Amino acid sequence: MCSAQRSFDDLGTPLHDVTFCVFDVETTGGNPETCHMTEIGAVKVRGGQVLGTFQTLVNPGCAIPPNITMLTGITNAVVMRAPSIDQVLPTFLEFMGGCVVVGHNVRFDWSFLQAAVRRTNGPLLGNQRIDTLGLARRLLNDEVPRFGLGELSRHYRFPKQPTHRALDDAWATVELLHLLIERASAWGVTGLDDLAALPTVAGHPQWRKLALTNHLPRRPGVYQFVDREGRVLYVGKATDLRSRVRSYFSSDKRRKVAQLLKETHEVKHQVCPSSLEAELIELRLIQQLQPRFNRRSKRPIKPSWVKLTTERFPRLAVSSTFSEGAMGPFGSRKEAHLIVEALHSAIPLRRCSTRIGRRGFEPAEAECSAAQLGVAMCPCSGTLSEADYEPVVERVRRALSGEAGLVLGTLERKMQNLAEAERFEEAATMRDRASAYVRAIDRRRRLDLLGGFDRIVIEADRGARIELGRGGALAPPRVPGAAEPDVPVPTLEEQLCVASWLQRHAGAVRLLTVSGSLSSPLPALPDYKPRAPVVL
């Protein structure tokens, strides 16, 4: 029996360890929804060794067209006593198991198999698939003019020749698969993920540079694209260096990737014990080297804070300096102003900038627009006392400290009312403000979590040990007998990076040692991300 279906983490499995199920079907026509299978043939192989074969005729439950009989030699009389697909399918699916499925134009054969599974109300199959037709077009295009299974078998004189019968065609496809794997090895293809990506990789204008990735390991780390003059063009991180860098030649469709690969002369790398260390090193290298093709993290964050002013009637302000009770830090003033809008939408705090001295001021001829609309309490009319205004200020203080319910409840009601009134753009604006406020609180919680412990040691990334000090400082590996290493104070960007990593990997790490607190009694925050519409 074949092993369980492989996960995405295992796609780097060496090809000699992969179990392939090479199969072929004969059918009554070309449409899987209206036509049916008449024969299934399959060969299971691993490391060049045949593990088993499967072959059976199938009664399609309908007449076989004469042209199909002339092509395959399968007649109505031949399949009359054959089992139906309902009888055949469970046995074949058990034979196939979780193997990597291979076929010549595998999409055709696979579509008939999936259609049969649907008719029997079975679950859709999720096996990884390899198409020898696509591989042949990329690897053999300089040797043969056409890529049909028959033409290729005759050209390369395979011992098994296709005959439009399922098992014979499967055997010919096995011969072709082994030839293609041999040819692909010249391009550094040694793993399953490399083989699956090769048809698109080989079609890339810069695919000849794929050899630059042959030395990359399947380990976490940081990679650098370097030009002929030794200038670093781009810095990136990866949990699998080889797979990530090779993806630039296939699945990465970003606009500047083509120019990046055109200028690349060398790919350097640094293996890291964990993906967390890779993220931190990437951040430091980008700020140090300022690579031309990197857009993010090139400038240190200039944090902004949202706080209350110290006037008699306080209002909200965005500042670049921290003060007690302020909310932040925010990576941009734009994000901070969005928080101000969220608080103004939920709490009727003063908005106008009229100066108020110790002796007060003369009432204005007209109240400010926010007061006239009834969305803010403002002393500009001269009728609002400090005692009446203080409860509003206190609500804002509590909202800035993280009491989410004071803001989110009001924003949710307004969002619901606007949506019911079909004012969808205004409802979306209210949702964006609520989402920004939630992000701000979540960021503050994560940073507070880093300050709650003096030292933690966790195990992650396939057994890698990570030691963090107060504030999320990453400690270097300890050397027995050596002095305690100095741990640099992390920057704000590094703190946010560590906090985000811990949140993303919370369910995949194992806590070994903790000194201090590594928990939060606060309730989970709601998610205001837009949902994709459901198509009925």
Tell me which residues are annotated as active site.
164
**141 Cβ neighbours under 8 A, 6+ residues apart:** none
Q: Which two tokens stand for residue 119?
A: 């008719």
- Residue of 52, 2, 3, 38 whose CA lies nearest to 174: 52
Provide DSSP, 65-93.
PHHHHHHH---HHHHTTSPBHHHHHHHHH
CA distance readout (Å), 262 to 143, 207, 209, 292, 404: 27, 10, 9, 14, 50
CB 131: neighbour CB atoms within 10 A? Answer: 19
Q: Which tokens belong to 449?
A: 């979590």
Q: What phi and psi values does residue 484 have, to the nearest 5 degrees?
A: -60, 125
Angle at which helix 275-289 crosses helix 492-504, to 10 degrees, equals 150
Cβ–Cβ under 8 Å, residues 416 and 426 = no
Give bridge partners of residue 236 from the DSSP assignment: 223
Q: What angle do the packed helices 424-450 and 333-346 form, to 10 degrees? A: 110
The values of phi and psi at residue 103, to 5°, are -160, 160
Establish whether the linkage from the previous residue to 329 is cis, with ω within 30° of 0. Answer: yes
Give the C-alpha separation, 162 to 154, whole Å.
9
Query: Which of helix, strand or coil describes residue 209?
Result: helix
Distance between CA atoms of residues 297 and 300, nearest Å: 7
> 19-27 and 100-103: which strand pairing?
parallel
Strand pairing of 129-131 and 49-57?
unpaired
Q: Which of 279, 61, 43, 56 is nearest to 172 (CA)?
A: 43
Tell which residue, 127, 123, 124, has the closest CA to residue 98: 127
